[in-house]
Amino acid sequence: MTRLRRTLGVVAGTVLALTVVACDAGSKAGSDGSGGGASKSGEDALSVGLVAVPASLDFTTVDGAAIPQALLNNVYDGLVKLDQNGEIQPDLAKSWQVSDDRKTYTFDLVDNATFSNGEKFTADDAVFSINRVMSDWTISLKAAMDVVQEAKALSPSQLQVTLKEPSNDWLYRMTTRIGAMFSKTGVDNLATKPVGTGAYTLAKFNRGDSIALARNDDYWGKKPFFASVTLKYFKDATALNNALITGTIDVIGTVQAPESLAQLTKDDRFQVIEGVTNGEVVLSFNDSKAPFTDKRVRQAVRYAIDHKALVDTCWAGRGTLIGSMVPPTDPWYEDLTGVYPHDPEKAKALLAQAGQSSPTLRLRLPSLPYAQSCGQVVKSQLAQAGINAKIDTLEFPAQWLQTVFTNHDYDMSIVAHVEPHDMAAVFGNPKYYTQYDNPRVQKLFAAADTGTEQEQADDLKQAARTLSEDAAADWLFLLPNLVVAEKGITGLPKNAIAESFDLTRLARS
Amino acid sequence: MWVTVLQRTAILAASLIIASVVVFAVLAVLPGDPARVALGVNATEEAVVRLREQFGLDRPLVVQYADWAGGLLRGDLGTSYVSKSPVGPQVADRLQVTGILVLASMLVALVVALPAGVVMAVRHRRLSGLLLSAVSQVGVAVPAFLAGILLITVFAVRLRWLPANGWTPPAADPVMFLEQLTLPALSLGLVQGAVLTRYVRSAILDVLHEDYLRTARAKGLTAGRALVRHGLRNAAVPVVTVLGLQLATLLIGAVVVERVFVVPGLGSLLLDGVADRDLLVVRDVVMVLVVAVLLVNFLVDLLYVAIDPRLRRAR
């Protein structure tokens, strides 16, 4: 009897000890915040649910939309920034002049900005930041800075940048992460300790879970309403919706399952904001590989797709039909949705002419929600024109990048190209995964960058039309920007066309 | 007894070495280049090659393995080349979260299974026993993540009694901690409880017909006291075995349930690591899980000997 008790005592004791140790350990995790803000707090705190999880905080060496979405315009400021209409606006640069040959930019900088490490922001920091893109950054976007000949400080509040040749694209790219201003003494630990001049500073980064931001009380501009903002990351669209419904978060930054919107709109606690993004969902073709080397096959695929029905079926009717690689917020947008109207008979005829009456094509999809659901619709629509699409799914990003992007081992794929002004990147480089090689279009892209603004708009409009007519790919739709928030939260961005999710204008009324 | 301990320790050590080789090898052949994932679309081939060098991925696999395994032996889990921060503290942090979740689930499972199993055994020919038996059969068939989704739909979304997801450290807000722990612990624990109930039932049924119980009754104990004093201990051996196995199942089940409830535990760290091709983090987390499972089995082996003196004498 006593032995039984002793044994049970030992077992119970062990379990108890384990529990105590774990609880104690858990609280340690708490003090350095393994959990993050799960419950939303008072009036001046805000919790925003997002989807793309940053692996690190260093966007100079780690690519992806997640890091600039969280940090740009919030923790880091640029010289210039993009507004909701896609226009370039002053930020750390109060104003700027462009020389007549359009190669020299002179920026007048604000003189009251300080970095979160206490250093004052001067033209030297701007020179340092611009040069550092070329010397230390590793992500491919850094190429946008290659056109810079020289950056120099004329005075602590005046910066001069000279370009090798005129470039319309350069100033635009300065609104993206490329243009973020770093402190000369604050770049030692970018992956975990970002130092910027922004309205918020980093309070806590819990990888894979959340980023906590605190209002920067020394901010040089208008101080934001919320004293603390928590960006909370959800990999699952349902979990994200549930968090809003049960009050764990106040805002869904980007709705990933538009079919679930109905559930949220009928709840009168919430408001829904709908706008556009830069995310063209492209049904891409391997343009240098048979049978897509034959224009008639490419055209047949475009005729076979019923875009309206597609977006109604797989993206709950949310999203804009585009017809080429330009979102409606770009100055060179033109409605090209009528170039290839839905016509399965014509598609069949074109295939017959090309000697490909019932081709089998591999549709290799990334493991992303829009690609998975829309891929099925594409497959069934293509079947009606006699095209047999064989679907397989590749884990995104790793496997998709390797197979489709690097090895070009695919016939068709579906992916959203979310970078702004990315028409030239996707279709101007024959080595890109689309393998599209059209010298005429390449010439237009080159001329657009060096020409005047008007010439740029004309050239790009022509390029977009050529791409559409030549059926370089099919453009399924433009991803919508869908924000759901508690009523009373103001300043939410209607369009998501900049790289950042701007938290500085949000307020609670 | 000590012979057993030594034997088990040797087996544990050998299993760990084999596991580390397998974990390393499997991840080495995983498709997807970590450097390319970090650099993203448009990255030039030269940039990818340069980053692979920085990551140390260009070294021979044997060297990479020795580097990693050597670090593990010294208790150094290395520095993630994606997040550029040491993996050890991250894993320790997440392990605590997962540990709390697993222990809480275990508690739920025991609280459900012990009484239910005993009732089912004692009344196995009556309606109440049969009904419980049917319920537990259903419970065995439901995967934990589905139980989680159902619990969220009912208790969080419809009734709004509990938060749908999230995690708060116990020290930060104990009430919120318990509220958020309840649903994930229930979804893991109820399913495991259902499985455990079946074992408790059959273990009790076995001992009910043993001679020593009849003797105990003959000595004047009531049926209940005889069962508690003599039956439970004998029934405990198979139940402890299953508990050990279940702890392993719970650890793995937590990976999925953490995803459903957005709990920042080892599981979410593992899945993020896989997505980012942060191979070091993936290897470390898998190794930690392997160590945990092997250790549990090791402890269960030792517990047998403690519970059942016959095993001690046999050695």
Residue A41 has a pLDDT of 53
The string of pLDDT tens digits covering residues A284-298 is 999 999 999 999 999
Question: Which residues of chain A does B254 touch, with a Cβ-Cβ cutoff of 8 Å?
Answer: none
Distance CA A237, CA B261 (A): 12
To probe the interface with A, which of B29, B41, B106, B181 has the most A CB atoms within 10 Å?
A: B41
Residue A23 has a pLDDT of 43
Q: What is the ipTM of this complex?
A: 0.80
Distance CA A352, CA A358 (A): 8
Distance CA B169, CA A206 (A): 13
Q: How far apart are the first and last CA of chain A?
A: 69
No. of helices (H) and no. of strands (E), chain B: 14, 0
Phi and psi of A32, rounded to 5°? -100, 20
Length of chain B: 315
Strands A104-109 and A158-163: antiparallel
B85 near A CB under 8 A = yes
Residue B40 has a pLDDT of 72
Q: Is A63–B164 a contact, with Cβ atoms under 8 angstroms apart? A: no
Question: Which residues of chain A does B31 touch, with a Cβ-Cβ cutoff of 8 Å?
Answer: 398-399, 402-403
Distance CA B64, CA B43 (A): 25
Q: Is A399–B31 a contact, with Cβ atoms under 8 angstroms apart? A: yes
Residue B38 has a pLDDT of 78
Alpha helices, H only, A419-452: 423-427, 439-450
Q: Nearest CA to A194 among A63, A52, A56, A57?
A: A57
Residue with tokens 């980053």: B51
Quote the percentage of chain A above a pLDDT of 70: 92
Residue B230 has a pLDDT of 81
The 10 Å CB-count burial string (b at 16+, else e) for A160-175 is bbebeebbbbbbbbbb
With respect to CATH, is domain A277-481 assigned 3.40.50.970?
no
How far does the CA of residue B134 sit from the closest CA of chain A (Å)?
31
Angle between helices B279-307 and B2-28 (to 10 degrees): 160
The string of pLDDT tens digits covering residues B183-224 is 999 999 999 999 899 898 888 888 888 888 888 888 888 878
Residue B85 has a pLDDT of 85
Residue A403 has a pLDDT of 92
State whether the Cα torsion B39-B42-B48-B54 is positive or negative: negative
Question: Which residues of chain A does B255 touch, with a Cβ-Cβ cutoff of 8 Å?
Answer: none
Residue A396 has a pLDDT of 87
Residue B231 has a pLDDT of 81
Please list the residue range(s) of chain B that carry CATH number 1.10.3720.10: 94-314
Q: How confident is the model at residue A207 (pLDDT cuts 50, 70, 90)?
A: confident
Q: How far is CA A434 from CA A379, A414, A426, A448, in A?
A: 20, 11, 7, 21
Question: Which residues of chain B does A63 touch, with a Cβ-Cβ cutoff of 8 Å?
Answer: 38-41, 43
To probe the interface with A, which of B83, B219, B268 has the most A CB atoms within 10 Å?
A: B83
Q: How confident is the model at residue A40 (pLDDT cuts 50, 70, 90)?
A: very low
pTM of structure: 0.84
Dihedral over alpha carbons A244, A249, A252, A257 (to 10 degrees)? -40
Q: Nearest CA to A35 among B198, B24, B45, B94?
A: B94
Angle at alpha carbon of residue A233, lines to A230 and A237, rounded to 5°: 130
The two tokens of residue B279 are 């191979």
Beta-bridge mates of residue A284: A413, A473
Name the residue facing A398 among B37, B85, B173 (closest C-beta). B37
Peptide bond into B264 cis (omega under 30): no
Say whether pLDDT at A39 is over 80. no
Name the residue facing B97 among A26, A207, A243 (closest C-beta). A26
Name the residue facing B164 among A15, A192, A246 (closest C-beta). A246
Phi and psi of A465, rounded to 5°? -65, -40
CATH number of B94-314: 1.10.3720.10
- For domain A2-193+482-508, the CATH architecture is Alpha-Beta Complex (3.90)
Q: Is A406–B275 a contact, with Cβ atoms under 8 angstroms apart? A: no
Say whether pLDDT at A33 is over 70. no
The string of pLDDT tens digits covering residues A456-479 is 999 999 999 999 999 999 999 999
Q: Is A209–B268 a contact, with Cβ atoms under 8 angstroms apart? A: yes
Name the residue facing A63 among B39, B171, B260 (closest C-beta). B39
Peptide bond into A493 cis (omega under 30): no
The string of pLDDT tens digits covering residues A91-135 is 999 999 999 999 999 999 999 999 999 999 999 999 999 999 999
Q: Is A34–B260 a contact, with Cβ atoms under 8 angstroms apart? A: no
- For residue A160, the number of C-alpha atoms closer than 13 Å in the C-beta half-sphere is 9
Q: Is A239–B44 a contact, with Cβ atoms under 8 angstroms apart? A: no
Residue B232 has a pLDDT of 80
Residue B313 has a pLDDT of 60
Question: Which residues of chain B does A420 touch, with a Cβ-Cβ cutoff of 8 Å?
Answer: none
B311 near A CB under 8 A = no
Q: How far apart are the first and last CA of chain B?
A: 7
DSSP type of residue B174: H
Length of chain A: 509
To probe the interface with B, which of A15, A39, A393 has the most B CB atoms within 10 Å?
A: A39
Q: How far is CA B236 from CA A469, B133, B227, B242, in A?
A: 76, 20, 12, 10
Residue A8 has a pLDDT of 46
Strands A251-252 and A45-50: parallel
Amino acid (one-letter) located at B100: I
Say whether pLDDT at A21 is over 60. no
Could you tell me if A68 and A500 are in contact, meaning their C-beta atoms sit under 8 angstroms apart? yes
Residue A48 has a pLDDT of 96
Could you tell me if A215 and A200 are in contact, meaning their C-beta atoms sit under 8 angstroms apart? yes
Strands A228-233 and A45-50: parallel
Contacting A residues, span 72-111, partner chain B, CB-CB under 8 Å: none
A239 near B CB under 8 A = yes
Distance CA A197, CA A199 (A): 7
To probe the interface with B, which of A2, A47, A138, A266 has the most B CB atoms within 10 Å?
A: A138
Residue B312 has a pLDDT of 65
Q: Tally Cβ neighbours within 10 Å of residue B58.
A: 12
Angle at alpha carbon of residue A404, lines to A401 and A407, rounded to 5°: 90
The 10 Å CB-count burial string (b at 16+, else e) for B101-117 is bbbbbbebbbebbbebb
Q: Is B83–A56 a contact, with Cβ atoms under 8 angstroms apart? A: yes
How buried is residue A267: exposed, middle or buried, by Cβ count under 10 Å (0-12/13-18/19+)?
exposed
What is chain B's mean pLDDT, rounded?
86
Nearest chain B residue (CA) to A405: B41
Q: Break chain A into its structural domains and give their ranges.
A: 2-193+482-508, 277-481
Distance CA A336, CA A326 (A): 10
Q: How confident is the model at residue B240 (pLDDT cuts 50, 70, 90)?
A: confident
